[in-house]
């Protein structure tokens, strides 16, 4: 990525056959986190479990045949919430399984991406739940059970997304002085 090209330099090394080959060497800053290696594995596992719960609840809510899914202020945040889910899953899967000194790209593409994506996911899921409440209060008279089922499933997704965001409070990424 171009964003991280300043952190690398190209050096020429002997390839053993009388020629030279280009090798990228990292010269940027290193970062570390404040938790132990066993806690890092536990954090990664718990994050994956919570993300799976959020995804299952969100998709299950989409299969409910309620009228509010035809309202743009509910369906747009519902659909847009899949984008932060993708980036959140990408960030979680990039978390290393062992503790070490991380390069800038490793820290930003895993821990920072995870924090940003889970924040946006919580915002979009909350928008869906608030939109459903507005729909129930102002635009429907029959108080269909499917609407309340959708609201309850999405509310559980909001709670799971909130816990995923809270779980990340134990992670502090900071630059190593040196």
For 68-103, how does the pLDDT look when each residue is reduced to its tens digit (9 = 90+)? 899 999 999 999 999 999 999 999 999 888 888 888
* Backbone torsion region of residue 16, taken as left when φ is above 0, otherwise alpha when ψ lies between -120 and 50, otherwise beta: left
Burial pattern 9-35, b for ≥16 Cβ within 10 A else e, equals eeeeeeeeeeeeeeeeeeeeebbebee
Whether the CA torsion 126, 93, 22, 175 is positive or negative: it is positive
pLDDT per position as a tens digit, 57-76: 999 999 998 888 999 999 99
Sign of CA dihedral 52, 76, 94, 102: negative
The residue with tokens 């509910």 is 74
Q: 2 or 121: which carries more pLDDT confidence?
A: 121
Averaged pLDDT of the chain:
90
Q: What is the pTM of this model?
A: 0.86
- Measured in degrees and rounded to the nearest 5, phi and psi for residue 24 equal -90, 130
Minimal CA–CA distance to 139: which of 72, 62, 65? 72
Burial of 86 (0-12, 13-18, 19+ CB in 10 A): exposed
SS3 166: helix
pLDDT band at 178 (very low <50, low <70, confident <90, very high): low
pLDDT band at 1 (very low <50, low <70, confident <90, very high): low
Give the distance from CA 154 to its chain's centroid: 18
Q: Which has more pLDDT, 21 or 118?
A: 118
Kindly report, residue by residue over 105-163, the tens digit of the pLDDT: 888 888 999 999 999 999 999 999 999 999 999 988 776 788 999 999 999 999 999 99
The SS3 of residue 5 is: helix
Q: Does 13 have pLDDT greater than 90?
A: no
CATH class of 29-175: mainly alpha
How far apart, in whole angstroms, are the C-alpha atoms of residue 57 and residue 149? 11
The interaxial angle of helices 145-167 and 37-62, nearest 10 deg, is: 160
């Amino acid at each position: 990525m171009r964003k991280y090209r300043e952190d690398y330099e190209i050096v020429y090394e002997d390839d053993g056959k009388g020629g030279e080959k280009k090798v990228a060497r990292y010269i940027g800053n290193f970062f570390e986190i404040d938790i132990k290696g066993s806690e890092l594995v536990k954090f990664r596992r718990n994050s994956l479990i919570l993300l799976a719960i959020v995804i299952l609840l969100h998709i299950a809510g989409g299969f409910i045949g309620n009228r509010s899914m035809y309202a743009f202020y509910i369906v747009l945040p519902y659909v847009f919430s899949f984008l932060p889910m993708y980036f959140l899953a990408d960030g979680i899967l990039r978390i290393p399984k062992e503790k070490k000194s991380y390069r800038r790209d490793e820290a930003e593409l895993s821990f920072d991406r995870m924090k940003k994506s889970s924040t946006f996911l919580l915002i979009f899921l909350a928008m869906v739940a608030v939109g459903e409440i507005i729909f129930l209060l102002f635009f429907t008279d029959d108080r269909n059970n499917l609407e309340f089922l959708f609201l309850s499933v999405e509310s559980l997704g909001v709670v799971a997304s909130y816990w995923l965001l809270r779980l990340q409070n134990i992670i502090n990424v900071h630059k190593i002085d040196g």
